[in-house]
Amino acid sequence: MQVMLYLSDCLIPLLIFYIVANGIARKVPVYDCFIKGAGDGLKTVVQIVPTLIGLMVGVGVLRASGFLEACSDFLSVPMAAMGFPAELVPLAIVRLFSSSAATGLALDIYRTYGADSLISNIASIMISCTETVFYTMSVYFMVAKVKKTRWTLPGALISSLAGIIASVILGSAM
């Protein structure tokens, strides 16, 4: 166990040293490349900030308006018939938009039901098995200047649904 801890502490510095040494060996101006990359990164951040703000405001409005709780109440009977806890409906919706907001909802679930409860187990697995589809698509496609998303959204939503179903199955089996 101590060896793994030591390796994990050394891995990042060794990786950075390897990259710099490799660049020097190939006669690449490493520092100039670093500065250029950092500048490009800042330009990217400036480009995606409006999208990030829009997504965060939208998720905040959903949480503050009570819409997520209304969805949970409305879908409680059909979800219960399918074996899906209605308390997790808001988490499943918010996870499509924001990882940090979903984490906040998961923390609320842990506080309410306890960290070792069935709902908390399913919530933990759900966060791990799903992706922030709309955030990822909006940010990465904008940066890559992709205009036609083709089948990305349906595929991502289907895979998120599969992750949600898997989280219920795996969480219930624990």
pLDDT digits (tens, 9 = 90+) for 14-53: 999 999 999 999 999 999 999 999 999 898 888 888 877 8
Nearest to 101 by CA among 61, 57, 59: 59
Residue 132 is assigned to a structural domain of this protein: yes
Residue 8 is assigned to a structural domain of this protein: no
Please count the structural domains in the chain: 1
Nearest to 48 by CA among 58, 36, 56: 56
Residue 41 is assigned to a structural domain of this protein: no
pLDDT in tens, 62-89: 878 888 888 888 888 888 888 888 889 8
Residue 101 is assigned to a structural domain of this protein: yes
Is residue 71 within 8 A of residue 45, CB to CB? The reply is: no
Q: Is the pTM of this model over 0.75?
A: no
Residue 168 is assigned to a structural domain of this protein: yes
Q: Which helix (H) or strand (E) holds 46?
A: helix 30-65
Q: Which helix (H) or strand (E) holds 12?
A: helix 2-25
Residue 162, domain extent? 48-173
Rounded Cα–Cα distance for residues 156 and 133 (Å): 6
Residue 166 is assigned to a structural domain of this protein: yes
